[in-house]
């Protein structure tokens, strides 16, 4: 019997009672791709864009193993809930990014930018996950570094263990219910 095409398989998966296992084989990817996935998982900073294969796999692994991470979205980065002692550092970076952006020139809607920043700051101070609008790579990188810094020693150890799974060469089953695409 022939294997179904990807289209046929996806149609079958919409049928009640039909499931599939998704497995990632670290031996089947290039060394460069594997190292990129490992680096992103270990750092907790997923740096690739929407179509990045390494970032996609790293995100699935972070979700599945419940690792703290930050990733890109269309206008900035996602910042996970921060510990209380770091929240004001996030707020300062967001305010500095906004100030640099507004000082840089004439903008279409500075009030809208200020309102979005205020909304984000309110979410961060409340201890919520937040999509932060960033205007420069410098501040985006500083926010990523701060997210990595806020992880506990236990979270760092667990992330290193998950990254090390890729060196073992065993198939890694990806729980499709953790996928949020």
The tens digit of pLDDT for each residue in 68-123 reads 999 988 888 999 999 999 999 999 999 999 999 988 877 778 899 899 999 999 99
With the C-alpha atoms ordered 19, 25, 26, 28, is the resulting torsion angle positive or negative?
A: negative
pLDDT value at residue 176: 67
Q: Residue 7 falls within a domain, yes or no? A: no
pLDDT value at residue 163: 95
Q: Residue 4 falls within a domain, yes or no? A: no
Same domain, 93 and 52: no
Select the more confidently predicted residue: 46 or 1: 46
Per DSSP, 44 falls in state T
Q: Report the pLDDT averaged over residues 162-181.
A: 80
Please state the pTM of the whole predicted model.
Answer: 0.82
Q: What's the angle, vertex CA 70, arms to CA 68 and CA 74, rounded to 5?
A: 150
Same domain, 105 and 140: yes
164: domain range? 21-68+151-181
Same domain, 142 and 180: no
Take residue 3 and report the two structure tokens written for it. Answer: 């294997």
pLDDT value at residue 179: 55
Q: Report the pLDDT averaged over residues 163-168.
A: 93
pLDDT of residue 131 exceeding 90, the answer is: yes
Q: Report the pLDDT averaged over residues 46-55.
A: 88
Phi, psi (deg, nearest 5) at residue 71: -140, 165
Average pLDDT in the chain: 89
């Amino acid at each position: 019997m022939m294997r179904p095409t990807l289209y046929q398989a996806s149609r079958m998966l919409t049928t009640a009672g039909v499931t599939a296992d998704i497995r990632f084989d670290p031996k089947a990817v290039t060394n460069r791709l594997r190292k990129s996935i490992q680096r992103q998982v270990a750092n907790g900073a997923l740096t690739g864009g929407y179509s990045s294969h390494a970032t996609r796999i790293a995100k699935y692994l972070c979700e599945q193993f419940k690792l703290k991470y930050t990733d890109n979205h269309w206008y900035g980065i996602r910042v996970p809930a921060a510990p209380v002692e770091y929240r004001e550092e996030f707020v300062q970076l967001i305010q500095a990014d906004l100030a640099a952006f507004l000082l840089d020139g004439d903008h279409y809607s500075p009030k809208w930018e200020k309102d979005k920043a205020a909304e984000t700051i309110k979410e961060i101070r409340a201890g919520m996950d937040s999509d932060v609008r960033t205007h420069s790579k410098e501040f985006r990188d500083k926010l990523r570094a701060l997210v990595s810094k806020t992880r506990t020693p236990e979270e760092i150890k667990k992330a290193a263990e998950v990254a090390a799974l890729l060196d073992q060469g065993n198939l890694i089953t990806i729980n499709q219910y953790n996928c949020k695409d």
